[in-house]
């Protein structure tokens, strides 16, 4: 199964980027007063399809890669941020208060960026792990 690693990884990364771009587009539309379009069936179902692809590829990667890849806790950290991203994303698209929607959009974008940087670095601190005062030893 390891021979499928690169195409599965590429699919996962493409789905991550597509999911983030679609969320940002929908969140921006809501902020601009276009909530009806942002929540209409087409972008909503597209989001479901992208996120299903993302999750499927992620589960495939977890099953084919050795457990040692995840020993430092980066995957657990990334997964711990996922409920925050989902919850903030929900409020960003559906909250009645404009300020709450904007704050939620910013929080969801921060959570997304954190998950992305953690995954890229394969470190729970993401890019912060390069700061000398945080480095162990």
pLDDT at 137: 53
Each domain of the chain, given as residue ranges in start order, spans 2-127
Tens of pLDDT, residue by residue over 6-64, are 999 999 999 999 999 999 999 999 999 999 999 999 999 999 999 999 999 999 999 99
Quick one: angle between helices 5-31 and 74-94, nearest 10? 30
Mean pLDDT, residues 90-98? 95
pLDDT above 90: residue 134: no
Contacts of 108 (CB under 8 A, 6+ apart): 23, 27, 85, 88, 89, 92
pLDDT at 105: 97
Closest to 38 (Cα-Cα) out of 52, 46, 27:
27
Closest to 88 (Cα-Cα) out of 115, 64, 61:
115
Q: How many CB atoms lie within 10 A of CB 111?
A: 19
Helical residues (DSSP H) of 32-135, grouped into ranges: 35-38, 41-64, 74-94, 98-121
d(CA 124, CA 114): 9
Closest to 8 (Cα-Cα) out of 47, 74, 58:
58
Whole-prediction pTM: 0.87
At 132, is the pLDDT very low, low, confident or very high (cuts 50, 70, 90)?
low
pLDDT at 119: 92
pLDDT at 135: 56
């Amino acid at each position: 199964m390891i021979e499928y690693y690169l195409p599965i990884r590429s699919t996962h990364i493409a789905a991550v980027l597509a999911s983030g771009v679609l969320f940002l587009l929908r969140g921006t539309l809501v902020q601009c007063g276009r909530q009806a379009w942002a929540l209409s069936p087409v972008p909503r179902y597209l989001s479901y399809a992208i996120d299903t692809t993302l999750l499927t590829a992620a589960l495939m990667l977890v099953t084919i890669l050795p457990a040692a890849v995840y020993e430092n806790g980066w995957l657990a950290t990334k997964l711990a941020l996922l409920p925050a991203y989902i919850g903030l994303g929900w409020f960003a698209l559906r909250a009645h208060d404009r300020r709450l929607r904007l704050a939620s959009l910013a929080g969801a974008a921060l959570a997304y960026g954190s998950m992305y940087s953690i995954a890229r670095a394969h470190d729970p601190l993401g890019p912060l792990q390069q700061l000398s005062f945080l480095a162990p030893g």
